Structure 1
Amino acid sequence: MYNYKKTFTRNRLYHYIRVASGISLMALGSVAWAQEEGKDQTEADKSVEEIQVTGQRLSIMSAQDLKRDADQIVDSIVASDIGKLPDRSVTEALQRIPGVSITRFKTLGDPEHFSAEGSGVMVRGLTMVRSELNGRDSFTADGGRALSFQDVPPELMAGVDVYKNQSADLIEGGLGGSINLRTKKPFDYDGQELSFTVEGNYGDFVEKTSPSGSALFSNRWNTGVGEVGVLLDFAYSEAATRTDGVYTRAFFPRDNIVDGQTVYIPRGADWRSYEFDRERQGTYGVVQWRVNDTTEMSFQVFNSQYAEFWDESSIFVDNWPLDIVPAEGTEFSYDENGVFQQGRLASTTGAIPMGAAARFQDRESETTDLSYNLTWQPNDSWSFNFDLQHVMAETRSLDATVATGIELDYLEVDLTGERPQMRTNSELLGDPSNYYMAFTMDNRTDNEAEETALRLDAKYDFEAGAIQGVKFGVRFTDVTSENHDTGYDWQPIYQQWMRWWALDGMAPMPSADASQLSLNTLDNFYRGKGTHPGVFMTPNIALAAGFPQSFLDLHQQAADSGNFLCPDRCGQGLRAIRDINDVAYTNLLDEKTSAVYAMTYFGWDNLQYPVSGNIGVRVVNTDMSTSGSTIFPSTSTDSMGSQGFYNAPQPLDVDNKYTRALPSMNVKVELSEELQMRFAAARAMTRPAYGELQAYQQLSADLPGGMTLEDQPELSDFLLTADLYDNPNLKPTMADQFDVSLEWYFNDRGGMAHINVFYKDISDLISREFVIEEYGGWNYSVARPTNNGSGTLQGAELGWKMFFDQLPEPFNGLGIDATYTYIDSKMELEDVSQPVDTDFSSYADLPFTGISQDAYNLTAMYEKGPFSARLAYNWRSRFLMGVGQNGFNGDVNGLWRLPVYNDDYGQLDASVEYHINDNLALSLQAINIGNAETVLIADQNAAGDHTSSYVNDTTYILRMSAHF
């Protein structure tokens, strides 16, 4: 069994001790410095005015104040109670903000695996979003630069701020925007605070109940050396969901089925069902020390741990698409364009090869953040801020699949209803003797990343004049990243094409060991709304979870059976497990950045319409180095050529340096006490993800048997290739962006409306292209990602919030929170990145990945006395998930890759809460009321759109919360 054990090396422990020691020394130095100044703090100075957020109305009012007073265009969510956001994850809470959308797949690049809990976050349709924790860097060690927001316990958050545009003092990296997660501090409260929550989560499809809970303690004390505050916060939660999916695969043009007509026939169809379990816990602690009325410091520790496990049973097509014909004695039905609608699929080979798989995935991640902050305001004009941070993140995962194969006599497909309906021969599927062991596949990752960041800011306020103040500062970071990724290692056990290597012609496929198979009945498949094969046999999940030994055993059993006589490289036999520490799967990266900025605050308060704002520039230098390897093809060959034979890896070290200047301007005009207008212009940047900067390239030579690379005259007609998925020379993606916003605060009880119009001109987008490069004196055709794309993005955001206080009792507790976002985008990429249909026709320019043209949120609220309720509906129009992802690409007499869209999707959630007294409250939430379906659309030109769909749980959460 693959074993995860968290180990902390001496080096890691040294980092903890080093950072903690440094912070302690700085703290002691600050005390001595402050006491030398001789500034004693009175009891009056120690008091902090605090407005406690306890309900929906005050949450909206707090978010409204943040938006109104901010120097930039910002939207916020504030916890409705201490340490409690109104959704079960930070990701899902963010979708309530205008301009923010989420996906419900594990990643945009994997349309086959739905995620009931929201995953990726996009701001104004862009995934290039900077994530922060209390204004500092935070990330998950998954090859990217951002934090996986679903990994963070929402119970630890006091609020979330989304910055839509830049100012010079904001840290660079958010091309779409910056999302800052805010936690509480002890000085936010007047005195002692103690609260906790206990809840149970029930998924009605998976039929499991999972526990969750959180606890917070905070207090502050006057001491002989100033005031000290301590806050401790802990959260733990589990969740379980089930997802069922039905798929139709790509349609192919056929001119040999209907005389004189080209019709479009699907390759086939798939069924999938998987269960997902996750465990999340977070620990947060902070010590604040107000030494006197000029000096304050804090030390924060934040730790988030996330573990997920899912297992999947699936049955899928494994056939050559051009072999499909109508079953004997039947005909296909078509629409007016000749596109298949209904029929019984058979094969010219006499059987349709299918596969049945058991898949297992286990992932663990942890992020730890240690930070120290010191603020000093020696007089009314000067203020200084010093910040030191150290972040450690690690992620480990195993994705393992074992699959059987089976030959079916037919597959019946009906596309005339709401969703695809498929049937086949249940009797064949239920007999284990009809199956053979087909293949194994595994992917492992082991990533670690660390960052140390130091920041110093200074601000000087002028007493009078249009120039109100200046602010300037520097920031330095040092990031080290070690990523190990074996890739998906598909290895055959028995395959149809191996039958040609039998001693006596075509051999039958050997039957699988029945003891290694499990009967899957797909109980309540698709909530009873989808037809399925009835029963089928999948490998025992223990075979997938038993990696690596179970994989070695399966391949050894095949090698010992003697069923086939294979040439040198048939892939059968004792399987070699990839060494995750091999240089071929390892990328070491070191990145140092330095930034300096300066900005000026200006304002004219005596104008008819007072004007204020800031203008500045941030200059950022990046120095990245990475080490990996180049693998050259061997000059030796066997009887079938040199594929798969390589020389020892050669070191590949790359340095990548660049400097960017990022000017910005933010202007606010107060048209009245209630109405204000903003204008913002800035240049923004996003660096490539760490996983895109890997220094690894494998060169391939596809030669005829017996030929070597030295046979230069004969090689002119043969292609030397390299397919590279990363590029250490990538530069950052840039954008010039503009915003105009009008904000109307029509009452001080949560009433506001706003409209924001924005435009982004984006350059240096990353996409793959073909180039010719020379290695070892030979020219290779290389496909690699480069900065060759561009695009534009424009749109508008609208928001409206208010409570209807003017209504008579009891209706004056009603309120509404509504947002709408419109985005129009256009992306221009090199031809190699464009989609190609199965008839090899092309497509027009595509929108940006992940962008819906229309999205809205509509939340009805009620709050009166001890009772409050919320009914929230979130909807977004179709958006592009990607081009040519797994299952939607291939090589059938030429390469094809389809664009895949997520269709329009809306979800209804609700919650009610009753306060038993001032200390205790009960609440009930329902998520995904109505069991919304998620539909994927594979876009084809002549064949039109065809769909796949998913259904998952409605989740009910019963919570008791206490506050003292």
Structure 2
Amino acid sequence: MHADAEDATVVEEVVVTGYRDAQANALRQQRAADNIMNVVSTDALGQFPDISVAESVARIAGVAVTRHRGEADAAVIRGGDPSWTKVTLDGMNIPDAGGGRSVALGQLTSEVLAAVEITKAPTPDMDADAVGGTINIVTRGALTAGQGVSGNLTPGYSELGGNRNYNANLRYARVFGDISRHGLLASISHNVLDREMNNKESSHRLLNGEWMPDRLQTKAYDIKRERSALELRYDFLDGSDKHHLFTSYTFTRYLADEDRHTVIIRNRNQDKFVAGSNALQGVWPGVRIEQNWTDRLDESRRHLLTFGGKSEFEGFTAEYRGSYSQAENIRKPGRASWTYRRDYNNRRLQYDYSDPDFPILTFADNGEVPGVGINIEPDSLSFRYGSNYLQERTQDETAYQLQAKFEAPLSLADLPFLLRFGGKYTSRDRQDDENRYIITAGAPRLSEVLSDKRINNFDRFPFGYRFDKNIARSHVDGLKTEESIEASWSNDFSIKEQIAAAYVMGVVDAGPWRVVGGVRAEHTRTDSQGWRSDDNWATEPTATEFGREYTNFFPSLHVKYAATDNLILRASYSSALARPSFSDMRPTVSVNREAETISARNMELKPATSQALDLMAEYYFNPVGVLSLGVFVKRIEDVHFSFSRIVEAGEDFNGFITPEAGWRLTSTVNGDRAATVKGLEATWDQALTFLPAPFDGLGVFSNYSYIETESYVPETGESAPLGLQPKHTFNFAVYYEKGPLSTRLAYNHQTRGISDYGDGTAGNFLWWDERGILDWTARYQLRSNLTLVAEAGNLTDSRARRYRGDRARVEELEDFGRTYSLGLRFRF
């Protein structure tokens, strides 16, 4: 069920009635839904210091998020992969670009939200590609946004790096007309997050049954993120209130400007250690030191133009929508990666990994912790020609969508019966084009491009000086390069995907019972182009093509029982699918004859399919609140895994025929055993108005999810959780809203999730460790149209950690620091 954008009432004032009224409307929509879903208003989410949609949805029951450079990036709902989460804007697909299917919600500013709908058990009128669930971002309608000018201006500060941030939004809405009504809305928003980030990475090597440390790497980041959005909308409602037409345009832009200053100290010969060394303490007999600078400037743009309406004719209802969308990811030309290196073949280095987060490295000959640029002259490091590059890349998607939904009132055995039917057509063109050029000559000396700003990650690793970005980039034009055929062709592809869907469903009301059932059919056709190299990309590859089509059916049944005025019981059966990623559908093959290896995409990869059962009880409090408890189980067939196997002679890989048996293939396959997801979700969201004054302003916004997953890695048969799905997610916020004051302290926690499966054995799984984040917000209404806003993020200075196998083998540790802001919200 998708709410029309006009159904979301938005009230900007932050006094208690504003927030509670808006959330009460959201809970009424959740209560009236035919299926299992969560609805949260922008006023509820706006009480958190969230700069992106990804940060906002992490507050909702059953939703976990992946993080990139400390910021929420994509959402995971009841499953292991963000690509299993469908993301829509007012019911229409949000465009994205790249090789995957997940939508980078971290790129979207939270200012576009009016409400968020999380659907966990889809009905037949919804797209089926939602094995996890669907996130529908509801934007503001021009007739209900409230007239006048409103917005905010909130400057901020990043503790790590001492950089300035800001968030700004300006919105204008007007309704005019007497009998028929016209609405206009325009909104523009922009936010900037500018900070530094500390990073430390280690790697280990299995020797004689022990995981021996062989590399320490520190990365000092300069990171600037900009998120912008433009919204335009026109609504028309005729005098009979039976015909509503609208058109809307949404533009979003995300700019990621990132410099990475890396120092690597590694064992010169990874297989050799001085006698007596072990996993915690020992000596490397020789050392290699590298200093690296990576310069990235990525821009992502989205356009979504939508038109549609809803009309009623003697009880018969027709809803119709169409959209054109375009998304583009651009890696700006000339982005560079430079590495300088020196080998110390006979200089011993002592290591101590007793603290896996912060190992200690000491040169054995003088007792000093090595510091590149401090203890070692920069000019002693030489530029590594042939391994450094300049890069540019464009990823693009263009899509068209047409959708029609119809509803007719009938009767069934003297019971009210609604017949619903309709269809949808989606056409998507996805392309990826990368060019990479290897540097062959012309690089400056290291001392010429360093700044006077030191690297000292976590105040523990004084490893030299950062690059001076402006000086380094001034040398780019003087570099001599040649094209890397492998990097420039292996990731290029073009794919056209067409999906035609139709559904029929019925709704029966019998006293307190409401039953919704039906089936959806989706026919999928894909045509793809890629490249095949028979000589390990030594020469220009051969163009390849592939096409396929298939049809799936998705039945569902949803039962709702109103046990009392406040208690709702639900049961659902639903089905869904997850199509292969665009990257896995490209007909690309890479052959290395010398090594006798093949890397190939699997053109016959089947979509993963799921069936789910849900039970839920919801108790709605007066005046505002809900207490809910739900359990569910899901079975997923044909899960996609990376896989390696030995091939037979004569196997055909898009025109390359293996000459003999024994070659090794790396590809993606469907798992041969079903994965399962079982879980429990609980929510307590209540304004505690029954307490005596002044405590009647207190309230609780909280939820907990327990999700247990099991899958089987095809290569080893090892049982493993589905990647990126934490077993426990927990949100708890206590707030106070009374008179002009609104304040909230919120905690979000996720337990560990798998980042990758390594070689398929449990001891080599790579885990993101558990992490909790504490945030605080406060708002004080100075006047009826002016509110003071204060926010603080990551108050506990939470860090992110990845480890291999167990907590003693930490591979990555990241530190992001706290953020603070103070500003104003206004309405005129």
TM-score normalised to the size of structure 1? 0.77
SS in structure 1 of the partner of residue 127 of structure 2: coil
- Deviations along 1:438-467, one digit per CA (max 9) or x if unpaired, are 231455320111111111111002368335
The answer to whether 1:536 aligns with 2:472 is no
Distance 1:548 1:470, change over 3 A: farther
| Inter-partner Cα distance in structure 1 for 2:495 and 2:133 | 25
Counterpart of 1:297 (choices 245, 248, 253) is 245
SS in structure 2 of the partner of residue 165 of structure 1: coil
| Inter-partner Cα distance in structure 2 for 1:410 and 1:201 | 46
SS in structure 2 of the partner of residue 916 of structure 1: strand
Alignment-derived partner of residue 376 in structure 2: 430
State the 1:346 CA deviation. 2.5
Alignment-derived partner of residue 184 in structure 1: 140
Alignment-derived partner of residue 415 in structure 1: 353
- Deviations along 1:276-312, one digit per CA (max 9) or x if unpaired, are 1011111001111123423221011110011111111
SS in structure 2 of the partner of residue 340 of structure 1: coil
Q: Which amino acid aligns with 1:622?
A: T
Query: 5 Å matches for 1:635-646?
Result: 645-646=538-539
The answer to whether 1:600 aligns with 2:506 is yes
Alignment-derived partner of residue 364 in structure 2: none
State the 1:762 CA deviation. 0.6
Distance 1:340 1:781, change over 3 A: closer
Alignment-derived partner of residue 567 in structure 1: none
State the 1:952 CA deviation. 1.1
Distance 1:246 1:662, change over 3 A: same
State the 1:322 CA deviation. 3.9
| Inter-partner Cα distance in structure 1 for 2:321 and 2:469 | 49
RMSD: 3.0
Aligned partners of 1:214 and 1:233 also within 8 Å? yes
State the 1:583 CA deviation. 5.6
SS in structure 2 of the partner of residue 462 of structure 1: strand
| Inter-partner Cα distance in structure 2 for 1:392 and 1:476 | 16
SS in structure 2 of the partner of residue 118 of structure 1: strand
Query: 5 Å matches for 1:503-582?
Result: 512=445, 514-518=447-451, 521-523=454-456, 525-526=457-458, 528=459, 531-532=460-461, 534-536=462-464, 541=469, 545=473, 549=477, 551-552=479-480, 575-577=482-484
Alignment-derived partner of residue 365 in structure 2: none
Q: Which amino acid aligns with 2:814?
A: Y
| Inter-partner Cα distance in structure 2 for 1:513 and 1:805 | 65
The answer to whether 1:98 aligns with 2:53 is no
Query: 5 Å matches for 1:294-693?
Result: 294-319=242-267, 322-326=270-274, 332=277, 340-343=279-282, 345-347=283-285, 351-379=286-314, 381-398=315-332, 400-408=336-344, 409-417=347-355, 419-423=357-361, 424-426=369-371, 429-438=375-384, 439-462=387-410, 465-486=414-435, 512=445, 514-518=447-451, 521-523=454-456, 525-526=457-458, 528=459, 531-532=460-461, 534-536=462-464, 541=469, 545=473, 549=477, 551-552=479-480, 575-577=482-484, 584-605=490-511, 610-633=512-535, 645-646=538-539, 648-693=540-585
Q: Which amino acid aligns with 1:596?
A: A
Aligned partners of 2:789 and 2:824 also within 8 Å? yes
SS in structure 2 of the partner of residue 672 of structure 1: coil
Greater relative contact order (CA < 8 Å, ≥ 6 in sequence): 2
Q: Which runs of 5+ in 1 are unaligned?
A: 1-46, 106-114, 255-261, 333-338, 495-509, 553-573, 634-642, 703-718, 835-842
Q: Which amino acid aligns with 1:385?
A: E
Q: Which amino acid aligns with 1:741?
A: M
Alignment-derived partner of residue 873 in structure 1: 747
State the 1:474 CA deviation. 1.2
SS in structure 1 of the partner of residue 70 of structure 2: coil
State the 1:786 CA deviation. 2.3
| Inter-partner Cα distance in structure 1 for 2:638 and 2:471 | 45
| Inter-partner Cα distance in structure 2 for 1:786 and 1:395 | 28
The answer to whether 1:818 aligns with 2:675 is no
Q: Which amino acid aligns with 2:817?
A: D
Q: Which runs of 5+ in 2 are unaligned?
A: 1-5, 362-368
Aligned partners of 2:193 and 2:224 also within 8 Å? yes
Distance 1:322 1:651, change over 3 A: closer
- Deviations along 1:887-918, one digit per CA (max 9) or x if unpaired, are xx89xxxx999321111211100001100111
State the 1:145 CA deviation. 3.1
| Inter-partner Cα distance in structure 2 for 1:431 and 1:217 | 59
SS in structure 2 of the partner of residue 749 of structure 1: coil
Distance 1:447 1:875, change over 3 A: same
Q: Which moved more, 1:76-85 or 1:153-162?
A: 76-85
- Deviations along 1:530-583, one digit per CA (max 9) or x if unpaired, are x21x2425665458756964552xxxxxxxxxxxxxxxxxxxxx6435598x66
| Inter-partner Cα distance in structure 2 for 1:183 and 1:511 | 51
Alignment-derived partner of residue 612 in structure 2: 737
State the 1:950 CA deviation. 1.6
| Inter-partner Cα distance in structure 2 for 1:585 and 1:624 | 18
Q: Which amino acid aligns with 2:493?
A: N
Q: Which amino acid aligns with 1:389?
A: S
| Inter-partner Cα distance in structure 2 for 1:173 and 1:287 | 30
SS in structure 2 of the partner of residue 304 of structure 1: strand
Aligned partners of 2:789 and 2:822 also within 8 Å? yes
Q: Normalized per residue, which structure has more strand?
A: 2
Q: Which moved more, 1:946-955 or 1:77-86?
A: 77-86
- Deviations along 1:326-356, one digit per CA (max 9) or x if unpaired, are 49xxx65xxxxxx53234x322xxx311211
The answer to whether 1:211 aligns with 2:169 is no
Alignment-derived partner of residue 788 in structure 1: 671
Query: 5 Å matches for 1:709-748?
Result: 720-724=596-600, 726-745=601-620, 747-748=621-622
- Deviations along 1:705-729, one digit per CA (max 9) or x if unpaired, are xxxxxxxxxxxxxx643212x3343
| Inter-partner Cα distance in structure 2 for 1:846 and 1:756 | 24
| Inter-partner Cα distance in structure 2 for 1:731 and 1:595 | 18
Aligned partners of 2:398 and 2:428 also within 8 Å? yes
Percent of matched pairs sharing the same residue: 20
Specify the structure having the higher radius of gyration (Cα): 1
Alignment-derived partner of residue 770 in structure 2: 904
- Deviations along 1:801-844, one digit per CA (max 9) or x if unpaired, are 2222232221111111221110111111321xx5xxxxxxxx94
Alignment-derived partner of residue 201 in structure 2: 247
Distance 1:412 1:912, change over 3 A: farther
Distance 1:547 1:385, change over 3 A: farther
| Inter-partner Cα distance in structure 1 for 2:153 and 2:9 | 26
State the aligned residue count.
Answer: 791
Q: Which amino acid aligns with 1:468?
A: F
| Inter-partner Cα distance in structure 2 for 1:322 and 1:81 | 53
- Deviations along 1:64-116, one digit per CA (max 9) or x if unpaired, are 222211111111221118988762211111111111011222xxxxxxxxx22
Aligned partners of 2:74 and 2:103 also within 8 Å? no
Distance 1:376 1:776, change over 3 A: closer
Aligned partners of 2:142 and 2:173 also within 8 Å? yes
State the 1:492 CA deviation. 8.5
Aligned partners of 1:358 and 1:540 also within 8 Å? no
Counterpart of 2:23 (choices 35, 57, 60) is 60
Q: Which amino acid aligns with 2:737?
A: E
Alignment-derived partner of residue 10 in structure 1: none
Alignment-derived partner of residue 21 in structure 1: none
Aligned partners of 1:684 and 1:734 also within 8 Å? yes
Distance 1:451 1:462, change over 3 A: same
SS in structure 1 of the partner of residue 783 of structure 2: coil
Q: Which amino acid aligns with 1:124?
A: R
